[in-house]
Structure 1
Amino acid sequence: MAYIIDLDNYKDERGTLTVIDHVLPFKIKRSYYITDLNHLERGGHRHLELVEGIIALHGSFTVGLHDGTKRQEIVLDNPHQCLIIEVGEWHHFYNFSLGAILLSLASTHYDHSDYIYEPYS
């Protein structure tokens, strides 16, 4: 099931530096971020191979998860935390705050055949 990794961060009078180095359970092959989010859901799929790290760079949103057995909801609202979504976990994102930014770190390059759009029953 999905889990949170706390990212190292260093704060001083100049700001906060957050580091993603040797903490992910995969090598990053692709990254993307989503801005201008509104009331519409994002995601709504699962993967055959891809493992994903999700970070709320700004604002907050809810991640709904289902691994075929257990359902889970996680609110991401801390840019120093990364949610790891495992292979096969149905996930969707919703309840975006104004100005929210979602960052994804992916273990594979984009491959449409890796996506399953049918949720678990």
Structure 2
Amino acid sequence: MAKILQLSTFESDAGDLTVFEKILPGDIKRVFYIRGKEGHERGAHRHLKTWQALICISGSCRVWVDNNITQDFFQLDSPDKCLLLAPEDWHVMDEFTDSSILLVLANTQYDQDDYIFEPYTQSSPTVNT
């Protein structure tokens, strides 16, 4: 199941340094970011093998996660908060603020065959991209 991790952040007069390490299984193979738009949703999928770490480095967003056992909402509203998603975690991102930038790190390269677009339940939020 998905879980929130607190990233190590070192504060100084010159600014903050937040460290991301030893969180994903294996190596980081892919990095991308989503510039969210207020009123729109993204995601609505899970994976066969990819682990992902989501960090909202600017603004905020909400992530709904369903692993076929539990369902939960996670609020990403701080750049030192990281949401770790296992492959089985169906996820939908929404409630983006206009200034939001969601950074995603994955332990695999993009593979269209790794995506599963069928939700576990019919209660999954819909996606309006």
Partner of 1:81: 81
Partner Cα separation in structure 2 for residue 23 and residue 49 of structure 1: 16
1:44 aligns with 44
Give per-residue Cα distances to partners, 1:78-114, cap 9 Å, x unaligned: 1012110011110010001120010000010000000
Number of the residue aligned with 1:20: 20
The secondary structure found in structure 1 opposite 2:72 is: strand
Instruction: Measure the CA separation in 1 of the matches of 2:59 and 2:50.
Output: 25
- Map residues 99-110 of structure 1 onto 2, 5 A cutoff: 99-110=99-110
For 1:46 and 1:23, the matched residues in 2 are separated by 19
| Counterpart-to-counterpart distance in 1, 2:36 and 2:21 | 28
Give the alignment of 1:61-76 within 5 angstroms.
61-76=61-76
Number of aligned residue pairs: give it: 121
4+ runs deviating over 4 angstroms: none
The 8 Å contact of residues 36 and 97 in structure 2, kept in 1 or not, is answered as: no
Cα displacement (A) at 1:5: 1.5
CA contact (8 A) 2:36 2:102 kept: no
Amino acid of the structure 2 residue aligned with 1:108:
T
Secondary structure, counterpart of 1:23 in structure 2: coil
Normalised by the size of structure 1, how large is the TM-score?
Answer: 0.94
User: Which structure 2 segments of 5+ residues have no match?
Assistant: 122-129
Moved more, 22-31 or 58-67: 22-31
What residue in structure 1 maps to residue 125 of structure 2?
Answer: none
Gaps of 5+ in 1: none
| SS of residue paired to 1:113 | helix
Counterparts of 1:85 and 1:41, CA distance in 2: 17
Q: Show the counterpart of 1:94.
A: 94
Cα deviation 1:37-91 (Å, max 9, x = unaligned)? 2311000000000000000101111000000121110001010121100111100
What's the TM-score once normalised by structure 2's chain length?
A: 0.89
